Every structure is written in C-alpha cells, then in structure tokens.
C-alpha cells in the first residue's frame, strides 16, 4: 500500500486541489471500487446524494443495493450496518448530522463495541458524519459528541483536520476490522483544500502528527481547532514563543508517545479542543502527563475549550462559546511565561 | 520572593478595570491591606488593598490603563530587596481582548447638567472610615518564603546538585523556570526570559486584527489636541459607538478651546445612557403633589428626630415610602424586560442617584419595603457617604428594581430622567416650593412638588404610569404612617 506522500515527501504526479468534502467522497468511491463488500447506508444518501452531497453520484455508479437510503432512524441504520458486517459486508453508515448519533447510542455502545469481546465477532463498520460548530447550526446541528465514544472500549474514534488525512484515515477505517467512528468537522468541509496524491494511500489510525515544530510549549489539538492552533502558533512565533502543534487525528487509541515526546522537549502543554471542557480529551491528556511525565512538567496543563453549555444558536453567543485564536493566544502566553 | 498583584474581580459581571491612581511608588514600603491603588470599573470605584507586605517592586500597568481582571498590575517584593531588584521591564500579562485603553480620568469637578442630576442627601459623617489595618508587624523572613518551581525544575536541580534557593526566578510571580535552571546549569546568572514580547509596550497595544478592520472611525487629529506623548494612552481616536459625534469631527474644533479626556466614570455613564435610550422607548408623565402635610410633619419632628437618632430627616425617605406603596400597587413598574418575558421582581430595591464631584452613581436601598422612615434615612446616608469616599461595594449598586433621582435639590422645577437599566421606570423629583393653588375655589399657599415618571413603554403603559403616580401622590398627601 502506498503510504502517505506527505510523510515520505514524495509528491504524486497528478495532484489536484480538493476540498475536505471531496476527499471524503473520493475515499468512499475508491473503497467501493476496490472492495465490493463496501456499502453505504444512511438517510438521503442515495437519490439526494447526502445532506452535504458527500455521496452524490454514488447511487448511479454502484446501484441501490450498495447505496441504501433508510428511514429516519439512526438506531436502525447502525443496527442494520452491524448485522450486515456480521454477514461479510463492510458498511459505511452516515449520520446526517453527528448530533443524532446518540439516537444509536445503545446499538453502538452495547452491540457494535462489545461484539468482539463477547462473541469474537468484531463489526467492521464505519459510522461517519458532519460534526462541530462555528456554522450557526444551533444546539442540534453543531455537536462534538466524540467523548461519549472515546469512553467506550471496543471502538476507534477518528477526527481529522485536513483533506489528506480525511481521505487516508477514512480508507484506513474502512479496511480496519474494528468499528470506527469517523467525525468530520463541517466547518472544514468547503473551507480548506489540499493536493491529494493520485495513487491509493492510507493514513495510519492511532498516529498523531506534529504540524509545527517548537520548543517553548506544546499545543495539542484536532479537527477545526487544529487550524486555530496553527494560526495562534504563527502569531506566537512573532513574539518569540515557539509553540509545537500536535494534531491528534485519532482520539482512540490515543497516540501517547507523540504527546510524551513533545512534552519532554517543551515541558509545557496546552490542549485546545472544540468539545466542552468537562470530560473532554484535555482532561485525559492531563492525567496521562501526570502519570507518565510528571517530572518533565514545567507548568500546569492548560485547556482552551468550549464552555460547558449546549452550543448556542445565537451567533454572538456561539462565538463567545467557542474557542478561538485570541483565547489560545491568551492561554499560550500565560503558559509560556509561567 | 516577589508576589504578583492582580486586577481584582469586583463583581460577577465585571471583566476589566481601569487603574485610576497608584497610591504607592516603586520602592515604597507597603503593609498588607494598605491601600495600594485605585480602580474604576463599570460598577464602582474602589481602593484596592495590598495583598501582601513588602516593597512595591514594579508597576506594570500605568494609571489610565484598562486591563482584564487577573492581569498582573504590579509586583511586591516580600523580602524588601527593592533596591537590589533590577527594574526589568517585564512583559505584560497576556491581552486577548483587543480592548482599547480608557482615557485617564481627570479630576475636573465640572458641574453636570441637571436633568440627570441626582438628589444627594445632606450627609453628616457619623462614622469615620476605618483606618487601613496595619497588619503584618514583622515581614516574613526570607527563609520562610516558599520557592516556587515545577516538577521539572526540581528534577533538574536534583540531577545537577543545584540549591534552588540560589537560583533567581524569572517566571510568573518569581517562579523558577526551565530557562532559569538551564542558565544556572550553564553557570550563568539570571537569564532574560525568552518570552518577553519584543515590542509590545504594556497593555496599550491591543491586538489589532478584528478591530482595525472596522471601518475606521479615526477622524483627523483635532488641531489643538495634545500630542500623543502628553496623553498617556493616546486615546483621542478610539472608537466607542456611544460617543460618536453627530457631525464630522472637524466641525467641533474652531476658535479657542480646550480638550479634556472623559473620566472612566463619565465614559460608563455615557455608554449606559445611550444604551438605555436605545433599548427603552421612554415616555414621560408628570404629576404635582401637595407636600404640605409631609412638610409640616417634617418641620415638627426634624429636630427631635436628629437629636434622638443622630441623623437629619429629609424628604427623600417619604418619597421612597410613597414609591414603595406605588410599586406594591402596580408591580409592572418593579420589573425588567428580558426578551419576550417580563421579570417581575419580588424585592423592592430602590436605587437613589447620588451626585458626585466626578460623576454620578446609583446605590440601591435593598428591600426598601421592609424599612421604616428611619431605616431608609440611615441606609441612604450610609450609601451616599460611602459613594463619595469610593467605598461602595459592587453589590450595593446592583439589583435595583426602580430608581429615584432628585433634580429638585438643585432647584429644578422638574426633570425628565433617563431610565437606569434594567429598570423600567425612574421617578424624578422637582423642587418643593410654596405655590398658590386653588382649593375649593379659593387660593391657598401650599408646598408643591412636580414629580416626573420616565417609563419604558414596552412594559408600562400611560394608564398604569398615571395610576402609579396617583398612588404616590395620594400616599404623600394623606401621610399617616409613623416615622419609626
């Protein structure tokens, strides 16, 4: 399997600029072409092509047996996908908005996640959908529910930040024999573009990546906040503060080694995530650093996160609720000076 | 060991404060709890006591600057080695919000327009303000001071056999940082922190992007305006929506003139007044009250009252009682509007506008309905006195449910006050003076007083307003309750 062009430094010959959305679509298309066991299931994904048009044209190409429109029942979608996977298929189930994944909470946490442990029957399914705020979607169309599932043994949870990673990780997820939850930040769908290699590639699940090198502190982030963190790091550099930025990419299993390696260099750590504060991944990272690198800490772990409230509908309130560059800068300056 | 002094949070909804005056200079000795600096927030002005004893080592936020709460504004050297401490120009605490600095307040005691002028109660000063507690008889000895470090620093010290008490700390609050340890290991002395932003000069440089992109309301500098160096903040061109001029700015400057920056309090009043006029459609109703009965009662009992209770008897408590009666009868005036909901307050907390030489503040008589004339008079005197000595606590200017202002004290016939948000009504009292009035077809001389009610027409209609005024009038004209 051709590995990440980015990581090997090899530029593919026929490269084109594609959006995050397009990268998702390419991944599904290519996996369906590669493996006839791969099927899509979800609401409005066939005739309509998906709420965000991520599966547009796939019905025409692969037919109704492989692109399955369902009634509005997330529980049924996940249950059906789980059953199909036991019979040898590799379904990709779409949640129209990831907020509604909790309608399938029982299916995911009690059946999909435990099948391998209980019956030696892993469910090779992917559950994917648009997540995140910043687009004035209000409390029911902006959620970041990743931590419900990071807390659930038996699942893998991915939340990429770039088109390249989205494509490579989604393909890896489809090929993985375990159930994988794949969160796509809808703010990024059309806002970022990237050249993708023409040839087949995957990005390994469970590996974080250092997006920017630095020595004074480490900023750990993922999804849309990774870009916010990079912007903040660029501004910090002008003040003489060199921040290292880590993109987690996979939340479960968490790449502890990359985090620890960076912390041993910078000795200070700031976690930025769009999920709410209490029970967010930042708390977990704080605990890991205390357990595994206490004597390397030169300052408290700091967090920049959303507030502990539902995502507000009002645009000014949503802006207040979400982390942003200014909040990251504020925390990073404090930590650097500590 | 240096301790940081931070901008305190003076109330739940307060996020920043302006340092109006430093009461100590760098190098001065300060006791714990001794007044260190004065601040002004959108709620109150206050003196801030020193958090610890020692020597004021460095002032990081100058007078006139506005900073978010918890910003380090100074450091105090507990060991008292100020002379030895190099006054290094330390970096400011981080400033996320691009907040322009607020003008340095002037002490100009210019009289304000009477319309919004409140009625101060002539206040005897029964109790002298408590002297600042001179605590901390002996400053803590050096060996008692804690060394602030981190797990990493302690590990490095152990590995290299370094005594941490010999390492000078340059981190926040004198903390020993990794860089300090690296310098100590390398055999060097103190190191300059690599994190000092190169050229950000204290707080005054806001992070520009979003604000700067705003359609610049940066008119040409006024011709005779003092050069930037003379005004510490260079604030002449800051953009504050409520302070926009109605005409191009050039047209303000002609002939001879003088330019003075607004004080912080003046600025807050300006913002509040514009906001109030913006959100509340004001309607004004006027009534006339015959105060003869109350005036006679007051004239009869005021000497005895003062002798017995040590406080002067004014008209104001009678008005407060009458307003309480009115609010009880018409609770829609004791309310606030929250979107599509009216919040009907169960407490009756009456704010009384108090004129100050430097502005105006509205302390609140909480639960005025539970107090008698003496209780109201005492509470008012106490609040007014402390308003003038900047000793009000933030909660004492919050949670008012209705306000009273007294332009009459300055001889005004009546005034049309602006509602103090989030109230829906404010009562303005005119001067009480003897006027000829017609009673039973004969002309009599009575002590008359115009009262005006400004009310928010979103919540209160004219009918209710006039019924309320009538209740106030009736209560005062048929006064019968005892004073105590």
Let me know how long chain B is: 484
B104 confidence band (pLDDT: 50, 70, 90): very low
pLDDT of residue A123: 94
- Residues of chain B contacting A330 with CB distance shorter than 8 Å: 94-96
Across A287-296, B164-173, B210-219, B348-357, least confident range: B210-219
Interface A-B, measured as beta-carbon pairs within 8 A, has a size of 65
pLDDT of residue A69: 97
Q: Averaged over A15-40, what is the pLDDT?
A: 94
B320 touches A: beta carbon within 8 Å: no
- Residues of chain A contacting B155 with CB distance shorter than 8 Å: 295-296
In this predicted structure, the answer to whether residue B86 has a pLDDT above a threshold of 90 is: no
Return all residues near A336 (Cβ < 8 A) that are at least 6 apart. Answer: A216, A217, A236, A241, A268, B195
Q: Are strands A269-276 and A250-252 parallel, antiparallel or unpaired?
A: unpaired
Number of neighbours of residue B478 by Cβ within 10 angstroms: 10
B388, B122 in Cβ contact below 8 A? no
B257 confidence band (pLDDT: 50, 70, 90): confident
B196 confidence band (pLDDT: 50, 70, 90): very low
In this predicted structure, the answer to whether residue A186 has a pLDDT above a threshold of 60 is: yes
B366, B349 in Cβ contact below 8 A? yes
pLDDT of residue B93: 44
Q: Averaged over A198-208, what is the pLDDT?
A: 96
Contact A334 B196 (CB under 8 A): no
Which class for B120: exposed (0-12), middle (13-18), buried (19 or more C-beta within 10 A)? buried
How would you label B76-100 residue by residue, b for 16+ Cβ within 10 Å and e otherwise?
Answer: bbbbbebeebeeeebbbbbbbeebb
pLDDT of residue A211: 97
Angle at B4 between CA B1 and CA B6, to 5 degrees: 170
pLDDT of residue A220: 98
DSSP labels for B54-103?
A: EEEEEE-S-TT-EEETT-EEEEEETT--TTTS----PPPPP--S-PPPPP
Alpha-carbon gap, residue B248 to B286, rounded angstroms: 37
B362, B44 in Cβ contact below 8 A? no
pLDDT digits (tens, 9 = 90+) for B414-435: 899 999 999 999 999 999 999 9
A154, A166 in Cβ contact below 8 A? no
Interface of B with A in 89-128 (CB under 8 A): 91, 93-98
In this predicted structure, the answer to whether residue B14 has a pLDDT above a threshold of 80 is: no
A29, A171 in Cβ contact below 8 A? no
Tell whether omega for the bond before A259 is within 30 degrees of 0, i.e. cis.
no
Tell me the HSE value of A107 on the side-chain side, using a 13 A CA sphere.
Answer: 22
Alpha-carbon gap, residue A61 to B299, rounded angstroms: 98
B240 confidence band (pLDDT: 50, 70, 90): low
pLDDT of residue A304: 98
Q: Respond yes or no: is residue B441 known to be catalytic.
A: no
pLDDT of residue B131: 39
pLDDT of residue A334: 92
In this predicted structure, the answer to whether residue A109 has a pLDDT above a threshold of 50 is: yes
Q: Averaged over B276-280, what is the pLDDT?
A: 92
Interface of A with B in 252-291 (CB under 8 A): 267
Across B77-91, B107-121, B441-455, least confident range: B107-121
pLDDT of residue B192: 41
Q: Which residue of A has its CA nearest to B151?
A: A295
A305, A320 in Cβ contact below 8 A? no
Percent helix, strand and coil across chain A, each rounded to 5? 40, 20, 40
B296 confidence band (pLDDT: 50, 70, 90): very high
In this predicted structure, the answer to whether residue B212 has a pLDDT above a threshold of 80 is: no
Across A164-178, A246-260, B12-26, least confident range: B12-26
pLDDT of residue A132: 96
B11 confidence band (pLDDT: 50, 70, 90): low
Tokens of B354: 């108090």
Q: Averaged over B319-345, what is the pLDDT?
A: 94
pLDDT of residue B233: 38
> What is the SS3 assignment for B21?
strand
- Residues of chain B contacting A329 with CB distance shorter than 8 Å: 94, 96, 207
Contacts of residues A57-66 at CB distance under 8 Å and 24 or more positions apart, as own/partner, are: A58/A25, A58/A28, A58/A29, A58/A32, A61/A29, A61/A32, A62/A32, A65/A39, A66/A32, A66/A36, A66/A38, A66/A39, A66/A40
Alpha-carbon gap, residue A271 to A285, rounded angstroms: 8
Return all residues near B467 (Cβ < 8 A) that are at least 6 apart. Answer: B329, B330
In this predicted structure, the answer to whether residue A7 has a pLDDT above a threshold of 50 is: no
Alpha-carbon gap, residue B75 to B26, rounded angstroms: 9
In this predicted structure, the answer to whether residue B239 has a pLDDT above a threshold of 70 is: no
Angle at A98 between CA A93 and CA A101, to 5 degrees: 70
Range of B13-22, B61-70, B149-158 with top mean pLDDT: B149-158
Q: Which entry of B303, B461, B466, B470 is annotated as an active-site residue?
A: B461
A63, A102 in Cβ contact below 8 A? no
DSSP labels for B189-230?
A: -----TTS-SS--GGGS---HHHHHS----PPPPTTPPPTTT
Q: Averaged over B461-471, what is the pLDDT?
A: 95
B143 vs A26: which has the higher pLDDT: A26
A92 vs B243: which has the higher pLDDT: A92
pLDDT of residue B351: 95
A180, A173 in Cβ contact below 8 A? yes
Alpha-carbon gap, residue B264 to B472, rounded angstroms: 36
B246 touches A: beta carbon within 8 Å: no
B172 touches A: beta carbon within 8 Å: yes
A157, A150 in Cβ contact below 8 A? yes
> What is the SS3 assignment for A198?
coil
pLDDT of residue B115: 40
Interface of B with A in 199-218 (CB under 8 A): 200, 207
In this predicted structure, the answer to whether residue B123 has a pLDDT above a threshold of 60 is: no
Tokens of B260: 């003075």
Tokens 């003379």: give the residue.
B230
Tell me the HSE value of B478 on the side-chain side, using a 13 A CA sphere.
Answer: 7
Tokens of A251: 């939340």
Angle at A272 between CA B101 and CA A220, to 5 degrees: 125
Out of A216, A295, A338, closest to residue B151 by CB:
A295
B79 confidence band (pLDDT: 50, 70, 90): low
In this predicted structure, the answer to whether residue B275 has a pLDDT above a threshold of 80 is: yes
Alpha-carbon gap, residue A298 to B185, rounded angstroms: 16
Alpha-carbon gap, residue A73 to A78, rounded angstroms: 9
Which class for B190: exposed (0-12), middle (13-18), buried (19 or more C-beta within 10 A)? middle
Tokens of A261: 């390696």
pLDDT digits (tens, 9 = 90+) for A156-174: 999 999 999 999 999 999 9
pLDDT of residue A223: 97
B46, B390 in Cβ contact below 8 A? yes
pLDDT digits (tens, 9 = 90+) for B146-181: 778 889 999 898 888 888 888 888 888 788 888 888
**Range list of β-strands (E), B269-334:** 282-290
In this predicted structure, the answer to whether residue B127 has a pLDDT above a threshold of 60 is: no
Return all residues near B130 (Cβ < 8 A) that are at least 6 apart. Answer: none
pLDDT of residue B401: 96
pLDDT of residue A246: 98
Average pLDDT of the residues of chain B = 77
In this predicted structure, the answer to whether residue A212 has a pLDDT above a threshold of 50 is: yes
CA distances from B405 to B313, B319, B362, B432, B451 (A): 18, 11, 9, 14, 10
First-to-final CA distance of chain A = 46
B268 vs B238: which has the higher pLDDT: B268
Can you name the residues that pair with A66 across neighbouring β-strands?
A: none
Return all residues near B133 (Cβ < 8 A) that are at least 6 apart. Answer: B33
B218, B248 in Cβ contact below 8 A? no
B225 confidence band (pLDDT: 50, 70, 90): very low
Alpha-carbon gap, residue A110 to A305, rounded angstroms: 29
- Residues of chain A contacting B172 with CB distance shorter than 8 Å: 334, 337-338
**Four-residue CA torsion sign, B274, B276, B278, B281:** negative
Let me know how long chain A is: 338
């Amino acid at each position: 399997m051709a590995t990440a062009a980015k990581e090997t430094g090899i530029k593919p010959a026929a490269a084109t600029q594609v959006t995050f959305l397009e990268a998702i679509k390419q991944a599904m298309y290519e996996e369906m072409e590669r493996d006839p066991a791969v099927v899509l299931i979800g609401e409005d994904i066939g005739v309509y092509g998906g709420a965000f048009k991520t599966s547009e044209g796939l019905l025409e190409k692969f037919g109704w047996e492989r692109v399955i429109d369902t009634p509005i029942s997330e529980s049924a979608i996940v249950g059906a996908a789980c059953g199909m996977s036991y019979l040898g298929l590799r379904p990709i189930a779409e949640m129209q908005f990831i907020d509604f994944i909790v309608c399938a909470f029982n299916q995911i946490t009690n059946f999909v996640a435990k099948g391998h442990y209980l019956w030696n029957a892993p469910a090779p399914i992917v559950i994917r959908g648009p997540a995140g705020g910043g687009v004035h979607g209000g409390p029911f169309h902006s959620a970041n529910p990743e931590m419900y599932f990071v807390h659930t043994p038996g699942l893998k949870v991915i939340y990429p930040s770039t088109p390249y990673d989205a494509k490579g990780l989604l393909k890896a997820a489809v090929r993985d024999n375990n159930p994988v939850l794949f969160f796509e930040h809808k703010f990024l769908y059309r806002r970022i573009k990237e050249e993708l290699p023409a040839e087949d590639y995957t990005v390994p699940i469970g590996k974080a990546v250092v997006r920017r090198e630095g020595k004074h502190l480490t900023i750990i982030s993922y999804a849309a906040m990774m870009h916010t963190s990079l912007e903040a790091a660029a501004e910090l550099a002008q003040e003489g503060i060199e921040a290292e930025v880590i993109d987690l990419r996979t939340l479960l299993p968490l790449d502890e080694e990359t985090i620890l390696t960076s912390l041993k260099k910078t000795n200070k750590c700031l976690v930025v995530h769009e999920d709410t504060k209490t029970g967010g991944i930042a708390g977990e990272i704080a605990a890991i650093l205390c357990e595994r690198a206490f004597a390397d800490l030169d300052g408290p772990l700091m967090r920049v996160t959303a507030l502990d409230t539902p995502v507000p509908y009002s645009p000014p309130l949503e802006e207040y609720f979400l982390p942003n560059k200014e909040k990251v800068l504020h925390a990073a300056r404090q930590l650097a000076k500590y | 060991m240096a301790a940081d002094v931070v901008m305190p949070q003076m109330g739940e909804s307060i996020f920043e404060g302006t340092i109006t005056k430093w009461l100590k200079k760098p190098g001065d000795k300060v006791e714990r709890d001794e007044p260190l600096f004065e601040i002004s927030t959108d709620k109150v002005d206050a003196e801030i006591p020193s958090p610890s004893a020692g020597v004021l080592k460095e002032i990081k936020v100058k007078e006139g600057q506005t900073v978010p709460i918890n910003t380090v504004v100074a450091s105090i050297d507990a060991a008292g080695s100020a002379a030895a401490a190099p006054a290094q120009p330390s970096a400011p605490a981080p400033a996320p919000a691009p907040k322009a600095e607020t003008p340095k307040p002037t002490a100009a005691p210019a009289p304000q327009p009477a319309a919004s002028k409140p009625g101060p109660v002539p206040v005897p000063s029964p109790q002298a303000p408590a002297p600042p507690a001179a605590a901390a008889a002996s400053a803590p000895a050096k060996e008692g001071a804690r060394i602030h470090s981190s797990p990493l620093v302690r590990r490095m010290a152990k590995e290299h056999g370094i005594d941490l008490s010999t390492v000078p700390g340059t981190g926040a609050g004198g903390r020993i940082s990794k860089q300090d340890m690296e310098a100590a290991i390398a055999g060097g002395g103190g190191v300059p922190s690599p994190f000092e932003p190169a050229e950000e000069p204290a707080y005054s440089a806001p992070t520009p992007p979003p604000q700067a992109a705003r359609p610049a309301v940066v008119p040409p500098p006024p011709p005779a305006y003092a050069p930037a160096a003379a005004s510490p903040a260079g604030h002449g061109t800051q953009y504050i929506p409520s302070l926009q001029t109605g005409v191009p700015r050039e047209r303000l400057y002609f002939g001879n003139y003088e330019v003075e920056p607004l004080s912080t309090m003046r600025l807050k009043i300006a913002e509040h007044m514009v906001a109030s006029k913006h959100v509340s459609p004001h309607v004004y109703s006027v009534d006339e009250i015959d105060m003869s009965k109350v005036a006679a009662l007051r004239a009869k009992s005021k000497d005895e009252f003062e002798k017995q209770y040590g406080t002067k008897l004014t008209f104001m408590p009678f008005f407060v009682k009458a307003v309480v009666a009115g609010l009880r009868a018409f609770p829609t005036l004791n309310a606030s509007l929250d979107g599509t909901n009216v919040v009907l307050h169960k407490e009756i907390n009456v704010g009384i506008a108090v004129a100050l030489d430097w502005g105006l503040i509205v302390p609140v008589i909480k639960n005025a309905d539970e107090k008698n004339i003496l209780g109201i008079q005492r509470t008012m005197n106490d609040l007014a006195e402390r308003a003038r000595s900047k000793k009000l606590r933030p909660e004492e200017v919050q949670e008012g449910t209705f306000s009273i202002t007294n332009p009459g004290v300055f001889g005004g016939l009546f005034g049309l006050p602006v509602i103090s948000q989030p109230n829906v009504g404010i009562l303005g009292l005119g001067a009480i003076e003897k006027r000829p009035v017609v009673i039973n077809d004969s002309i009599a001389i009575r002590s008359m007083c115009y009262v005006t009610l400004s009310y928010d027409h979103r919540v209160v209609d004219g009918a209710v307003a006039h019924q309320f005024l009538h209740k106030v009038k009736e209560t005062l004209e048929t006064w019968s309750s005892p004073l105590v």
